[in-house]
Amino acid sequence: MLDIHSSARVDVDPLLAAQNDMGVCDAIGQYAPAGKPNAMNAPHPGKVAGIDSTVPPPAHTVAPVSTPSPAPGAVLQDRLAGWVSDLTTLHELTERLARTGALDDALHELLRAGAALVGARRGLVVLEPADGHGPSSTVGLGLAHADLGHLETVPRTATSYGQLIDNPVGLPGSGAEIAHADLLAEDGLDPRHREVAARLGYAASYALALSTESAGRLGAVVWLYDEPAEPVERQRHLVGLYARYATEHLARLVELERGRTKLATIAEELLPSRLARVAGVQLAARHRTGPRGGGDWYDALPLPEGALGLAVGSVTGAGPSAVAAMGRLRASLRAYAVMEGEDPVAVLSDLELLMRLTEPARSATALFAYCEPKQRKIVLAGAGHAPPLVIGERRTEFVETSLSAPLGMLSCWEAPSVELSPEPGETVLLYTDGLLHRTGDAMDRAFGRLHAAAASVPKSLRDDPGSIADHVLRHVLPDGLDEADSQEDVVILAARFE
């Protein structure tokens, strides 16, 4: 029998432990030199393939050639390489998440990254902040809208996300995760849940709560497996780290979304809740607010003797201060329009004087039109504002207005007014500069795009000013630019004369 010195023996238990998910520091501590082992207390190698390694081979046989066990240092090196790879992956995924600036984009990125980490193909995230102030939404990965509808028919108490959101304390295990390795084999599974799982074709699920001490409870995310499965400990550890970071990022986006919603609500409340109804003219308006809130406004107010005042304008800047300035300016213009609306130049002159006294650090563009629908007559004046556009069967042209400076830019503002007589069935389109700026083109090309969009309005839509405004928006701002997060507000006010 070969005489193996005790110092050359390999302890198998540490190697097996190193192959499990021990930390780097634990592995280093495990393989630290501990002196020469006692021969009486040294552990014996385990059985391999039913052979008791403690029984010596017969003396007349040649000792078999054994495969040397990997050195402890090599195992530790492999473990370190694995940890570096995991940290690199985690870093890349969190960087991609950090680049998302919209809440919906962040939720989709969370689902995609988590699915890659746990080895799933589908999933859903339910956003329901604990304070009840919203926003609330459900986003799916690999699930159609109808599939999400089927999942919502499952009793909430029987779903993983429902248990994590509604009962965060007292759940099995840590309370932060729920794993169903084989849903269809579970005896206590809700019948409706079993039916929906069979219909959608998933057999296992893994759910995590989106909750941290600083962010609070935001919701839960669930990944679905096509076959019975569950993530291993290493996968759970990685996705847990990622989910904690994602929760903090989502909390910031939730607060940002709430601020945007409040600002947009205030801006909408400062604008007309409904447009005036005056005989001989049909009105429609479209308003798109930027993420920070802007100072664009529109107005349509009835005036004495059946007249109508139309106004659009834009205050410089963005955010709450610009929204507040817009409200003050619009209210002042309404007052001046009621007193001397038949003279648009006087209305804008009074508004400019008010701005110089009360808003010395701001400027604004504005256009005011005094309309007599029965006579189809319009008298308008503009202060640094884009010219209106007349849309009809025989013509599509910009109204020639005199060049003038914005309000608040000169010590005294005054510009001549312009008279316009639209034909029956023609629509006068008033708009703010944001419609042109959002295109990203130079101003001459943006004006050309606007003119082409107005000229291409189908005949079937020309009787409805709202349809005309929608057509212009879709063609001037394609690919969803009218809904995109742009710093520019957009206002369109369409008046069709009968």
For residue 50, the model assigns a pLDDT of 35
Residues 218-240, mean pLDDT to the nearest whole number: 94
For residue 288, the model assigns a pLDDT of 85
Site of tokens 């369109």: 492
For residue 450, the model assigns a pLDDT of 96
Are the C-beta atoms of residues 163 and 178 closer than 8 Å to each other? yes
Supply 50's token pair. 């039913």
For residue 291, the model assigns a pLDDT of 67
Measured CA to CA, the distance from residue 73 to residue 196 in angstroms comes to 50
- H-run or E-run covering 452: helix 443-455
Residue 413 binned pLDDT confidence (cut-offs 50, 70, 90): low
pLDDT at residue 42 greater than cutoff 70: no
Supply 482's token pair. 């009218």
For residue 421, the model assigns a pLDDT of 94
Are the C-beta atoms of residues 276 and 348 closer than 8 Å to each other? no
For residue 262, the model assigns a pLDDT of 84
Are the C-beta atoms of residues 328 and 364 closer than 8 Å to each other? no
| Residue 239, phi then psi, degrees to nearest 5 | -70, -30
pTM to 2 decimal places:
0.63
Residues 28-47, mean pLDDT to the nearest whole number: 38
Instruction: Please report the domains of the chain, with CATH numbers, ordered by start residue.
Output: 80-263 (3.30.450.40), 271-497 (3.60.40.10)
Supply 67's token pair. 């495969």
For residue 18, the model assigns a pLDDT of 38
Residue 388's alpha-carbon distances to 247, 344, 445, 469, 491, in angstroms, are 48, 15, 17, 13, 12
Residue 67 binned pLDDT confidence (cut-offs 50, 70, 90): low
Measured CA to CA, the distance from residue 484 to residue 194 in angstroms comes to 40
What mean pLDDT, rounded, does the chain reach? 83
pLDDT: which is higher, 55 or 444: 444
For residue 17, the model assigns a pLDDT of 38
Are the C-beta atoms of residues 359 and 408 closer than 8 Å to each other? yes
pLDDT at residue 482 greater than cutoff 80: no
Measured CA to CA, the distance from residue 390 to residue 497 in angstroms comes to 11
For residue 36, the model assigns a pLDDT of 37
Q: What are the tens digits of pLDDT across the range 73-104?
A: 777 777 788 788 888 989 999 999 999 989 99
Are the C-beta atoms of residues 275 and 156 closer than 8 Å to each other? no
For residue 412, the model assigns a pLDDT of 64
For residue 46, the model assigns a pLDDT of 40
pLDDT at residue 463 greater than cutoff 50: yes
Measured CA to CA, the distance from residue 476 to residue 453 in angstroms comes to 6
Are the C-beta atoms of residues 474 and 280 closer than 8 Å to each other? no
3-state helix, strand and coil shares in percent for the chain, rounded to the nearest 5? 40, 20, 40
